[in-house]
Structure 1
Amino acid sequence: MLSEAQTILLAFAFLTSTLAATVGMGGGMLLLACMPGLLPASALLPVHAVTQLVSNASRVLFDWRHIEWRLVPPMLLGAFAGAALGSGVYRVLAGDLLTGLIGLFILVMTWVPLPHMRASGRGSLFLLGFYQTGLGMVVGATGPLGATVLSRIRRERDWLVVNTGVSMCINHAFRTAAFVLLGFSFQGLLPLLAGLALAVSAGSWLGTRLRWRIPAYDFSRWFRWLMTLLALRMIVLAIPWP
């Protein structure tokens, strides 16, 4: 039986997965920002990795014809290297410190323009896999980085949504494996993970069907302020109040 907090988390997972399948980004970061207070700090990044792996995989499977397979091998190699490096950093960070760091990272990602990055060669795709997974081991949500790089190749909506999902599948698969190797046990969380998997899969299904029914308008203003409030909440929760 799920607790009230876990039931709320299922609702957030459904809504954020629907958002990601509709516009191609933002869902993972929004979900991570909602998780503190609903899960122990030590479980945030592992549970987020598994949930987003299912969310992105379902989004890709519902529209798999847009996958560009040539992008996959260099991103796989980069993700392997990034997971190895990021695991070492993750080991030395305490739970509350990690929560505050994630909040700071979300603020930076929300308000600081990302640098211009090209993605025409295998080296760039290797670096994408490397820094997405390496950073993801510590701060969790790196989807906007991938969308920024891949949009340099093509901007068609379906192509970008699906191939950003592919890059994030690689990222979250390596992160999940790394957390298991680091000793995190998912055993006590299996009912929650099953519920989250169903919620994000349903969200991906709905978002895929809404994608062309909803205009691609600029929602960045309200989204930025929502992310700012949630990131500040994470930072406040991480402060060791007397």
Structure 2
Amino acid sequence: MSELIAIFTSTELVLGIITFLTSVVAAIVGVGGGMILITILPSFLPLNALIPVHGLTQVSSNLSRAFFGYKDIQYKVIPKFLIGSILGIALFAGVLSFISLSYVPLFIGVYILLSLWSEKFNEKIKRYENYYLAGFFQTGLSMVVGATGPLTMTLLLKDYQDKDKVVATGAILMSLTHFLKVVVFIYFGFVFFDYILIIVAMIFGAVFGSFVGTKSRNLIDGKKFTLILKVLLSILAIKLIIDILLKNIYLLF
């Protein structure tokens, strides 16, 4: 009994709550939850576990969100996206061998700021406006930066005006992205069982958050919520960048 109490008063509980909140965000606006989570996790997990644990948690978050909105999923885009994803994961998996894990938070922070505020960056992304290339880059890049949802959401927003269709379809596509990523990390030898309590707590929070967010989607002003989300993400991304730069400056001296 005392061991159970210890579990639910430690890191697992905190991460479960954080994952719940980020999953609610993602279920309401379609993106942002995974990005918030990936900027927070470096404070709780070692760098080698950051993207694998995040990926497995996001499988549950996105898959549950897709399940709760299954009637709105546009299934015709899935085969194209999946083909691109398989090619992307095969290519980008090799990049991990040449990247120092200590710089992963820096990549994440820069990517988030560019995707939120740089029109030129987003214009370049928009050039890849088909589901083959969206799958290729979204799944491939997720091996390095973790959360790449905006790549596909931009395309879905153009093709579908219905918010529920965009959120549900985006969720199933992100499920594929994170699932393939998890498979690759298992192949590389990452032992998810070493973080089993954290993963269980985060999965529980993710699924419950998807349920609450789906039910709340039409109760919140999307424009105001999106603006608040962008500001919050920017603050977290800047913190990631500053922390990694200060750490490297400290090592120099």
TM-score, with structure 2 as normaliser: 0.89
Q: Deviations over 1:161-180 (max 9, x none)?
A: 00010110111111111111
Assess, with a 3 A threshold, how the Cα gap between structure 1 residues 208 and 90 changes in structure 2: closer, same or farther.
Answer: same
**Any residues of structure 2 matched to 1:71-90 within 5 Å, and which?**
71-90=77-96
Report matched runs for 1:1-242 at 5 Å. 1=7, 4-113=10-119, 114-115=122-123, 116-117=126-127, 119=129, 124-238=130-244, 239-240=247-248, 241-242=250-251
Deviations along 1:105-130, whole A, 9 cap, x unmatched? 111112113124575xxxx1111110
The two structures, once aligned, show a CA RMSD in angstroms of: 1.6
Q: Which amino acid aligns with 1:61?
A: F
SS at match of 2:173: helix
Q: CA deviation at 1:3?
A: 6.8
Instruction: Give the 3-state SS of the residue equivalent to 2:212 in structure 1.
Output: helix
| Structure label with greater radius of gyration | 2
- CA, structure 1 residues 216+7, in 2 after alignment: closer, same or farther (shift >3 Å)? same
Partner secondary structure for residue 155 of structure 1: coil
Q: Which runs of 4+ in 1 moved over 6 A?
A: none
Distance across 2 between alignment mates of 1:214 and 1:7: 27
Indicate how the Cα distance of structure 1 residues 8 and 35 shifts in structure 2: closer, same or farther if over 3 A, else same: same
Name structure 1 gaps, 5 residues minimum: none
After superposing the two structures, state which structure 1 stretch, 102-111 or 152-161, moved more: 102-111
Matched length: 238
Q: Matches of 1:215 and 1:101 in 2, distance apart?
A: 31
Amino acid at match of 1:62: F
CA distance in 2, matches of 1:48, 1:16: 12
* Inter-CA distance 200–156: structure 2 relative to 1 (3 Å threshold): same
Deviations 1:16-41 (A, max 9, x none): 10011111111111111111111111
Counterpart amino acid of residue 7 in structure 1: L
| Corresponding letter in the other structure for 1:47 | V
**Contact preservation (8 Å) 2:34, 2:147:** yes
Distance 1:94 1:6, change over 3 A: farther
> 1:172-202: per-residue Cα shift (whole Å, max 9, x none)?
1111111111121111111111111110000
Letter paired with 1:11? I
Provide TM-score, normalisation by structure 1.
Answer: 0.93
Deviation at 1:224, TM superposition (A): 2.3
Partner of 1:184, secondary structure, is coil
The letter of the residue matching 2:19 is A
Which amino acid in the other structure matches residue 41 of structure 1?
A: L
Measured against aligned partners, the alpha-carbon deviations of 1:37-72 in whole angstroms (never above 9, x if no partner) come to: 111111110011001110000000011011111111
